[in-house]
């Protein structure tokens, strides 16, 4: 066993301590605290879903308590009214939750801004009234005499037995979520929130992934509801008010909404605090009431003011630092590669393409062609429309008119993620990396479409073979642009020129037939530019076609096969570098101004 794999197998000391505590706790704690721990576990399940949904993906939900309620009531009805087994109750609860979440998710996850939180509040309120008004659910009195669970003849009828079941489920969910975030799907998920355009440009289906996470978060809440119903043996609508939904969200924020273990911290602290406040506050106010809500509100204000990332980063500092830092991946068999078009074969064709922003015509009647194994320079003054051409070809923006064909197929009406599948990869003029991810992980996003394993395989760690190959490929491409020493660094820590090189290696990881590079040499030193030119020549020799936007004329002229010159959205010249250099129209519009 190598040192690296031994280090991987050794559990994180904080995790080991936590598991040890969980094992010892039911023997060491009084019944009261065991029950408290049960509530913490139940809340952690729900909050974990919110961590993935809100913290990682950026979708805010105030309605998770309603999913808890659906499943608690379903198993209540199945077991008390129909005499069914709790396991049937679980299946029915999860099934019903999945149906509702899918329906709700299809409507809501595409909503932007405040619509999604509003929609989840509305959903939470209506679920509460449904629970409280249906005769079959016992109206506001709820359902009692729900049977205890039994598992291979072992009846879960005490707090300590429930503890075992709840915490096994919670730990499993925590590990599954951690596995998910550290996978192909997890990278996609973590990229979505702040880099949606980039993610779609590398083939990630944002809407589908968001729906999957919405569903997963609902199912976690549903599992919590089923455990809750059989632990408490009683359900009533009071446990599923919007207040409770807000508390879950607060727990996620307190813990640090983007980190899996933050769910445990948030759920623990607030559950304990709530218990303590319920005990102590009425003594001050000399009558009973939900005074803890006031304290929670004040705490929320303090937290948002003082520690926006929640408490998890504080705890993480006590541990070993960022566990996401990548060690160099082990060697793995290569991924399959796309066949390249024959040199000189028509590859990309623009015919009379137009794009306006309001009254501004950014691209006007633009036509040009690119062939296999060609480097075509696209030059022109700032604002000429070059980056807009990139956005049109890659599907980031829809064209207003004209046709774009790639290998004969119309692509001007396809979404970005479909165009990526055809083998078109790009870099962005304004660097589009995920700052919180390592260089290796950023580049691995480029290889997204070369893997196929989904979220469930990732949670169960069944995709390790493919993952190794993806990471190995990513590392190979990072090496190619000369950044091997920075594999594990966070991309935000690199100089701007190096970040552009990371962008190039991410595009390379997609195994592209056509690469669109938007000012790749900006910010590079002379020697780095030479190295980049060498790399682009080698790629051309391998049959990769490159559309290059660049302002450094020496770099461009020494590299490209042909040039297209734009000014005010129009093509003003096209030809060999020598011809363009001496073209009076070009000199007037562009080169003259620079030289």
User: Nearest to residue 184, comparing CAs of 211, 204, 212, 207?
Assistant: 204
Find the part of the chain contacting ligand ADP (CB under 6 A) among 37-45, 70-78, 326-334, 377-385. Answer: 377-385
User: Nearest to residue 337, comparing CAs of 480, 200, 508, 168?
Assistant: 508
- The residue among 104 and 516 lying less far from Mg ion, judged by its C-beta, is 516
Find the part of the chain contacting ligand ADP (CB under 6 A) among 127-135, 244-252, 386-394, 499-507. Answer: 386-394
- The residue among 163 and 390 lying less far from Mg ion, judged by its C-beta, is 390
In this structure, the chain runs to a length of 595
List all residues 6 or more positions away from 55 whose beta carbon is below 8 Å from its beta carbon: 252, 256, 257, 258, 259, 262
- The residue among 153 and 359 lying less far from ligand ADP, judged by its C-beta, is 359
Minimum distance from CB of 353 to ligand ADP (Å)?
12
Interface with ligand ADP: number of residues (CB under 6 A)? 11
Find the part of the chain contacting ligand ADP (CB under 6 A) among 303-311, 378-386, 465-473, 530-538. Answer: 378-386
Is the separation of the CB atoms in 159 and 42 below 8 Å? no
Distance separating alpha carbons of residues 135 and 494, to the nearest angstrom: 63
Is residue 383 at the binding interface for ligand ADP, with CB under 6 A as the rule?
yes
What is the binding site for Mg ion (CB under 5 A)?
Answer: 386-387, 429
- The residue among 13 and 398 lying less far from ligand ADP, judged by its C-beta, is 398
- The residue among 361 and 531 lying less far from ligand ADP, judged by its C-beta, is 361
Minimum distance from CB of 429 to Mg ion (Å)?
5
Distance separating alpha carbons of residues 293 and 290, to the nearest angstrom: 6
Here's the x/- map for ligand ADP, 337-376, by CB under 6 A: it reads as --------------------x--x-x--------------
- The residue among 383 and 577 lying less far from ligand ADP, judged by its C-beta, is 383
- The residue among 209 and 517 lying less far from Mg ion, judged by its C-beta, is 517
Minimum distance from CB of 355 to ligand ADP (Å)?
8
- The residue among 125 and 361 lying less far from Mg ion, judged by its C-beta, is 361
- The residue among 157 and 400 lying less far from ligand ADP, judged by its C-beta, is 400
Distance separating alpha carbons of residues 280 and 268, to the nearest angstrom: 18
Minimum distance from CB of 362 to ligand ADP (Å)?
3
- The residue among 78 and 362 lying less far from ligand ADP, judged by its C-beta, is 362
Find the part of the chain contacting ligand ADP (CB under 6 A) among 136-144, 315-323, 333-341, 385-393. Answer: 385-393
User: Nearest to residue 410, comparing CAs of 386, 390, 393?
Assistant: 393
Classify the C-alpha dihedral 182-187-188-194 as positive or negative. Answer: positive
Is residue 386 at the binding interface for ligand ADP, with CB under 6 A as the rule?
yes
Helix, coil or strand: residue 329: coil
Is residue 316 at the binding interface for ligand ADP, with CB under 6 A as the rule?
no
Classify the C-alpha dihedral 283-284-285-288 as positive or negative. Answer: negative
Here's the x/- map for ligand ADP, 66-105, by CB under 6 A: it reads as ----------------------------------------
Find the part of the chain contacting ligand ADP (CB under 6 A) among 46-54, 276-284, 379-387, 402-410. Answer: 379-387
Is residue 416 at the binding interface for ligand ADP, with CB under 6 A as the rule?
no
Minimum distance from CB of 501 to ligand ADP (Å)?
20
User: Nearest to residue 102, comparing CAs of 92, 112, 94?
Assistant: 94
Minimum distance from CB of 380 to ligand ADP (Å)?
6
- The residue among 389 and 449 lying less far from Mg ion, judged by its C-beta, is 389
Is the separation of the CB atoms in 106 and 231 below 8 Å? no
- The residue among 385 and 520 lying less far from ligand ADP, judged by its C-beta, is 385
Distance separating alpha carbons of residues 205 and 417, to the nearest angstrom: 7
Extract the tokens encoding 339.
């066949």
Query: Which H or E run includes 353?
Result: strand 346-357
Interface pick for ligand ADP out of 387, 438, 491, 498 (rule CB under 6 A): 387
Is residue 417 at the binding interface for ligand ADP, with CB under 6 A as the rule?
no
Residue 325's CB is within 10 A of a number of other CB atoms, namely: 14
Q: Which residue stretches of 30-85 are H helix?
A: 31-50, 64-76
13-to-6, 20, 318 alpha-carbon distances in Å: 14, 10, 10
Is residue 385 at the binding interface for ligand ADP, with CB under 6 A as the rule?
yes
- Footprint (CB under 6 A) of ligand ADP, residues 473-502: none
Is residue 382 at the binding interface for ligand ADP, with CB under 6 A as the rule?
yes
CA 372 to chain CA mean position, Å: 34
Minimum distance from CB of 508 to ligand ADP (Å)?
22
354-to-83, 378, 404 alpha-carbon distances in Å: 67, 17, 11
Minimum distance from CB of 554 to ligand ADP (Å)?
19
List all residues 6 or more positions away from 163 whose beta carbon is below 8 Å from its beta carbon: 25, 26, 34, 37, 38, 41
Is residue 266 at the binding interface for ligand ADP, with CB under 6 A as the rule?
no
Binding-site partner at residue 380 among ligand ADP, Mg ion, none, CB < 5 to 8 Å by type: ligand ADP
Is the separation of the CB atoms in 86 and 230 below 8 Å? yes
Distance separating alpha carbons of residues 395 and 197, to the nearest angstrom: 10
What is the Cα Rg of the chain in Å?
A: 28
Interface pick for ligand ADP out of 388, 432, 455, 545 (rule CB under 6 A): 388
Is residue 380 at the binding interface for ligand ADP, with CB under 6 A as the rule?
yes
Binding-site partner at residue 357 among Mg ion, ligand ADP, none, CB < 5 to 8 Å by type: ligand ADP
Distance separating alpha carbons of residues 564 and 446, to the nearest angstrom: 28
Is residue 159 at the binding interface for ligand ADP, with CB under 6 A as the rule?
no
Is the separation of the CB atoms in 327 and 530 below 8 Å? no
Extract the tokens encoding 195.
């880099």
- The residue among 422 and 522 lying less far from ligand ADP, judged by its C-beta, is 522
N- to C-terminal Cα distance for the chain?
A: 61
Distance separating alpha carbons of residues 231 and 163, to the nearest angstrom: 9
Distance separating alpha carbons of residues 77 and 92, to the nearest angstrom: 10
Q: Which residues bind ligand ADP (CB under 6 A)?
A: 357, 360, 362, 380, 382-388
């Amino acid at each position: 066993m190598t040192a690296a794999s031994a280090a991987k197998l050794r559990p994180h000391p904080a995790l080991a301590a936590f598991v040890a505590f969980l094992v010892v706790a039911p023997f060491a704690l009084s019944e009261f605290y065991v029950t408290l721990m049960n509530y913490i576990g139940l809340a952690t399940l729900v909050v974990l879903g919110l961590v993935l949904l809100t913290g990682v993906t950026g979708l805010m939900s105030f309605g998770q308590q309603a999913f808890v309620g659906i499943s608690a009531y379903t198993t209540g009805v199945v077991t008390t009214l129909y005499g069914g087994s709790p396991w049937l109750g679980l299946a029915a609860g999860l099934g019903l939750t999945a149906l509702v979440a899918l329906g709700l998710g299809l409507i809501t996850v595409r909503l932007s801004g405040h619509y999604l939180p509003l929609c989840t509040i509305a959903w939470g309120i209506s679920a509460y009234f449904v629970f409280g008004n249906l005769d079959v659910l016992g109206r506001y009195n709820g359902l009692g005499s729900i049977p205890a669970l039994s598992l291979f003849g072992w009846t879960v009828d005490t707090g300590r037995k429930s503890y075992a079941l709840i915490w096994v489920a919670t730990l499993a969910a925590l590990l599954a979520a951690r596995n998910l975030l550290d996978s192909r799907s997890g990278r996609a998920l973590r990229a979505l929130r702040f880099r949606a355009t980039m993610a779609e440009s590398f083939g990630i289906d944002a809407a589908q992934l968001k729906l999957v996470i919405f569903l997963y978060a609902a199912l976690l809440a549903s599992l919590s509801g089923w455990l809750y119903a059989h632990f408490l043996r009683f359900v009533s609508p009071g446990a599923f008010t919007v207040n409770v939904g807000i508390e879950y969200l607060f727990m996620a924020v307190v813990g640090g909404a983007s980190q899996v273990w933050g769910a445990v911290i948030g759920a623990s602290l607030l559950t304990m605090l709530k218990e303590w406040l319920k005990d102590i506050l009425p003594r001050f106010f000399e009558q009973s009431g939900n005074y803890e809500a006031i304290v929670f509100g004040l705490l929320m204000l303090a937290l948002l003011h003082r520690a926006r990332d929640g408490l998890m980063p504080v705890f993480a500092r006590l541990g070993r630092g960022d566990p996401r830092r990548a060690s160099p991946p082990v060697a793995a068999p290569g991924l399959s590669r796309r066949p390249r078009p024959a040199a000189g074969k028509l590859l990309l064709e623009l015919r009379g393409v137009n794009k306006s922003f309001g009254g501004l015509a950014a691209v006007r009647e633009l036509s040009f062609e690119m062939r296999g194994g060609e480097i075509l320079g696209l030059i022109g003054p700032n604002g000429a429309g070059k980056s807009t051409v990139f956005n049109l070809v890659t599907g980031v923006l829809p064209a207003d008119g004209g046709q774009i064909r790639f290998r004969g197929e119309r692509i001007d009406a396809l979404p970005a993620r479909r165009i990526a599948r055809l083998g078109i990869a790009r870099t962005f003029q304004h660097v589009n990396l995920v700052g919180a991810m390592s260089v290796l992980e950023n580049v691995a996003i480029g290889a997204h479409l070369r893997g196929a394993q989904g979220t469930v395989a990732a949670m169960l760690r069944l995709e390790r073979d493919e993952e190794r190959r993806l990471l190995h490929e990513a590392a190979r491409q990072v090496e190619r642009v000369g950044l091997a020493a920075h594999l594990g660094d966070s991309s935000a820590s690199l100089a701007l020129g190096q970040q552009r090189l990371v962008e190039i290696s991410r595009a390379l990881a997609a195994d592209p037939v056509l690469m669109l590079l938007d000012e790749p040499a900006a910010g590079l030193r002379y020697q780095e530019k030479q190295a980049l030119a060498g790399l682009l020549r080698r790629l051309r020799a391998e049959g990769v076609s490159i559309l290059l936007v660049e302002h450094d004329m020496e770099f461009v002229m020494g590299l490209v096969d042909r040039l297209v010159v734009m000014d005010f959205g129009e093509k003003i010249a096209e030809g060999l570098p020598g011809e363009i250099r001496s073209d009076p129209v070009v000199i007037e519009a562009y080169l003259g101004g620079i030289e």
